[in-house]
Amino acid sequence: MKIVEIPINILNMNIKYFLTNKIFSIYGFLSIRDKERKIDRKNIYVEMNGKKYSIKFPFKRIRNIRGIAILSNFFIIKVPIEDLLEAELNNRIHICYSENDDEILFRKNMRLTTFFRKHRKNTIKKLRVFKEKNTTIVVKRTNSNSLIITVREINRTDFLKERVKIELANLLSKIYLKNICVMYEKKSEKYEESASVLYENLIDYGYKNIYYVIDKNSNHVSRIPEKYKKNIIYKYTFRHYLYFFSAKTFIGTETPSHLMDLRGASRSTNLRLYGNKFKYVFLQHGVMYMVSLDSSRRGFFRKGKSMPEYTRIVVSSDEEARHFIELGGYERNELYVTGMPKFDRNVRNKDADKIVIMPTWRPWEYNVIRNEYEQSGYYKMIKTIYNGIPDDKKDKVIIMPHPLINEYFKKSAFSKYMLKDEVYDDVLKSTDTLITDYSSVAYDAFYRGANVIFYWKDKDECMENYGGHLMLNENNVFGEVCYSKEDITKAINLKYGKRQEKEQIERYRKIVQFNDGKNTQRLIKCLEKDGIIKK
């Protein structure tokens, strides 16, 4: 349906909402001004996640003032909870106006007015837990004052006990001020990437105020050498919450939200994350020269969005730095061109013989995968790739779905190819050939000497959903590009067990320019120079 913007203005929108086990209700007062035509309230509706919902106006109050139609009315919208449980991860509500099935004359985000009173931005307004569905629905207000409905799996911090601990830690942090640095990796569950490498080096260099957060139940805890355990903080402890609110610096491979539960529902936590009162060093979990930073779904990595005001980003080359400058809005002095610390430890076994299938995730399919994974494009992609691998090499296959959705694939037909307690570093050590779509793990595997195969059949569709473009293309890609099962078969027969091609190595070195094993040393010098770490 074509969207044709006409001069309709929302003058006022006062909204309340009510969330029960059966209905999500939105009600309030709406004023709309139309300069060109008389508004027919029957043509006004709301749209969310591709579905339409009618707006009920109990009173007939459309007035014409000097030829301008003005609708001022109380309204009611009701959305069944079943629809929300099947919705995408993040959902905006749009107010639409249409007089036929071909055109939408008006489509705007539902924004909460500050006309009568000042509202706090970026706050959680409603939360409801559905244990039987392992789902939490969170209604929140964004920085732009829009209404967002997040539908995700249940977090531990959704429950009262943890929320009380968080609030107490927040209060105590006002007097418990320490110049400490807190480090972490994905979901505070990992100990295998750049943060753990940097952490160990800083401890070795004599830094006392460096701490590392990890979930005590993570299988990565056993990988931590004894000499580094003294500064380990376990996730969900009171000390974890206290240091989260007290720390002056965060250093991690993911955005600061990974220090707590993702998409958390604590107002205090969100105010801390977006309050710009700490320094932040983004190590990157992988080289981000992949999906462009100007993509709509990568907005949180751009300057001035969710990233703290004082942010420093570790990049692997001048080419990647240019990506952050031109499409991310950063200044050159905010980028550390040092290479990623984890690459200093990247090695591959001499007998590496595994074919690893590891695509990145698709956020728009998150809840489809949670509820009906076999219907997702992600699952169908893995199936196509697997079917393209020659039968005599299928015993070499390891399938590693993205960590955020890995759990849901353990009940699939591919579960026998998945590792129970996978550690990426261990898997990549034994990888001969990696097959991915747009995952940054491609850079990690290639650095070690593995060949990389890219599956791009869904590229255009995926980039449309990302709202951007792919930085890699036919001219700079450092692996074989495939679009079908047959292409996969040819690429495996061409690349498996072979050395990397010289031309592909040269292309790779333009994006990842360091291979001397001194990335961590270069980074520590930058952190000391800027006063981010102090003994």
Find the angle CA(355)-CA(360)-CA(361) to the nearest 5 degrees. 135
Q: Is there a shared CATH topology between the 158-344+518-529 domain and the 347-511 domain?
A: yes
Better pLDDT: 100 or 235: 235
Q: What ranges make up the beta strands (E) of 325-413?
A: 335-337, 354-357, 397-399
pLDDT tens for residues 392-442? 999 999 999 887 788 888 888 888 899 877 788 899 999 999 999 999 999
Predicted structure pTM score:
0.85
C-alpha distances in angstroms, 352 versus 317, 429, 445, 459, 503? 28, 7, 12, 29, 23
Q: Are 74 and 80 in contact (CB under 8 A)?
A: no
Residue in 219, 137, 207, 143 with CA at minimum distance from that of residue 179: 207
Q: Between the CA of residue 484 and those of 40, 489, 497, what are the distances in Å?
A: 50, 9, 21
What CA dihedral angle connects 300, 301, 304 and 307, to 10 degrees?
80
Average pLDDT over residues 8-18: 64
Please state the domain extents for the chain: 2-154, 158-344+518-529, 347-511
Amino acid in position 486:
E
Q: 352: which residues sit within 8 A by CB, 6+ positions away?
A: 429, 430, 431, 432, 449, 450
Q: Which of 506, 492, 513 is nearest to 338 (CA)?
A: 513
158-344+518-529 has which fold? Rossmann fold (3.40.50)
Q: Mean of the pLDDT values across residues 128-146?
A: 84
Query: Residue 243: what pLDDT?
Result: 96
Q: Where does 107-254 have alpha helices with state H? A: 160-173, 194-204, 238-246
Written as six digits, the tokens of 91 are 């959902």
Beta-bridge partner residues of 10: 32
Q: How confident is the model at residue 276 (pLDDT cuts 50, 70, 90)?
A: confident
Give me the sheet containing 232-234, strands edge to edge. Answer: 232-234, 210-214, 181-184, 249-252, 279-282, 311-315, 335-337
Contact between residue 479 and residue 504 where contact means Cβ atoms under 8 Å apart: yes
In this predicted structure, what is the pLDDT of residue 125? 63
Q: What is the mean pLDDT of residues 457-476?
A: 94
Q: What is the DSSP string of 480-531?
A: EEE-SHHHHHHHHHHHTT-PPPHHHHHHHHHHS---SS-HHHHHHHHHHHTT
Residue 338 token pair:
């040092």
Helices then strands, each counted (H, E), the chain: 14, 26
Confidence of residue 321 (pLDDT cuts 50, 70, 90): very high
pLDDT exceeds 60 at position 448? yes
**Does an H or E element contain 51, and which?**
strand 51-54
* CB-CB contact of 500 with 480 (8 Å): no
pLDDT at 71: 59
Determine the CATH number of domain 347-511. 3.40.50.12580
Instruction: Taking residues 265-292, report their average pLDDT.
Output: 92
